Structure 1
Amino acid sequence: MKTQSFGVHFTIRADKIKDGKAPVYACVTVSKKRSYIALKQTIDVKNWDNARGILRGNREEVKKVNNYLQEVRVAIATCFQQLQLKGKMVSADAIKNAFLGTAEEVYTLKTLIDYHNETAVSSLKWSTLKHYYVTQRYLEKFLQEKFKAKDLYLTELNYKFINDFETFLRNHQPKDHQKPLNNNGIMKHLIRLKKMVHLAVRLEWITKDPFINYKMKILKVTREHLSAHELSMIETKKFPVERIDMVRDLFVFCCYTGLAYVDVIKLTPDNIVEMDKGEFWVRTFRQKTEAPVNMPLLPKAMEIIRKYKGNIRSEASGTIFPVISNQKVNAYLKEIADLCGIKKNITFHLARHTFATTVTLSNGVPIETVSRMLGHTKIATTQIYAKVLEKKISEDMAALKKKLAC
Structure 2
Amino acid sequence: MLALVKKGECAIGTHVRFEISKKHIKDYMIYKYGVEDMEFNELNFEFVKDYEFYLKTVKNNANNTALKYITNFKKIVLTAMDKELLTIDPFKRFKGKKTRVPKKPLTGLEFQVADVAIAVGLAALTISNPVALVGFGIYGILDATGALDSIKNSLGGDTVILKSNFEK
Instruction: Name the CA distance, whole Å, in 1 between partners of 2:102 and 2:86.
Output: 39
Note the 1:63-78 alignment, pairs <5 A: none
Q: Secondary structure at the match of 1:130?
A: helix
Distance across 2 between alignment mates of 1:181 and 1:249 = 25
Query: SS at 1:221's partner residue?
Result: coil
> Does residue 51 of structure 2 align to residue 160 of structure 1?
no
Q: Does 1:138 align with 2:2?
A: no
Higher share of residues assigned helix: 2
Equivalents in 2 of 1:210, 1:186: separation in Å?
A: 17
Q: Which aligned pairs between 1:253-272 and structure 2 lie closer than 5 A?
A: none
- Residue in 2 that maps onto 1:193: 73
Deviation at 1:124, TM superposition (A): 2.0
Instruction: Indicate how the Cα distance of structure 1 residues 329 and 204 shifts in structure 2: closer, same or farther if over 3 A, else same.
Output: same
- Partner amino acid, structure 2, of 1:326: I
2:35 is the counterpart of 1:149 = yes
CA distance in 2, matches of 1:143, 1:210: 16
Structure 1 length-normalised TM? 0.29
Amino acid at match of 1:210: P
2:103 maps to amino acid? R
Per the alignment, in what secondary structure is the counterpart of residue 48 of structure 2? helix
Judged with a 3 Å threshold, the aligned counterparts in structure 2 of structure 1 residues 120 and 151 are, in CA distance, closer, same or farther, namely farther
Identify the structure with bigger relative contact order (alpha carbons < 8 Å, sequence gap 6+): 2
Q: Which residue of 2 aligns with 1:326?
A: 141
Write the mapping of 1:1-400 to structure 2, written as runs, cut at 5 A.
117=1, 121=5, 123-173=9-59, 180-226=60-106, 231=108, 234=109, 248=112, 251=115, 325-330=140-145
Unaligned runs of 5+ in 2: 128-135, 147-168
Which secondary structure does the structure 2 equivalent of 1:137 belong to?
Answer: helix
Q: List runs of 5+ in structure 1 lacking aligned partners.
A: 1-116, 174-179, 235-246, 253-260, 267-312, 332-406
Maintained 8 Å contact 2:113/2:145: no
Identity %: 21
Match of 2:133 in 1: none
Distance 1:119 1:165 in 2: 29
Q: Partner letter of residue 136 of structure 1?
A: K
Distance 1:192 1:119, change over 3 A: farther
Q: Distance in 2 between the 1:215 and 1:183 partners? A: 12
Q: TM-score, normalised by structure 2?
A: 0.65
Structure whose alpha-carbon radius of gyration is higher? 1
> CA 1:221–1:162 in 2, change beyond 3 Å: closer, same or farther?
same
Aligned CA-pair RMSD = 3.4
Call closer, same or farther: CA 1:118–1:161 in 2, change over 3 Å.
farther
Using the alignment, how far apart are the partners of 2:143 and 2:101 within structure 1?
Answer: 26
Kindly indicate whether the alpha-carbon contact (under 8 Å) linking 2:80 and 2:86 is maintained by their aligned counterparts in 1.
yes
Structure 1 residues 148 and 120, CA, compared in 2 at 3 Å: closer, same or farther?
farther
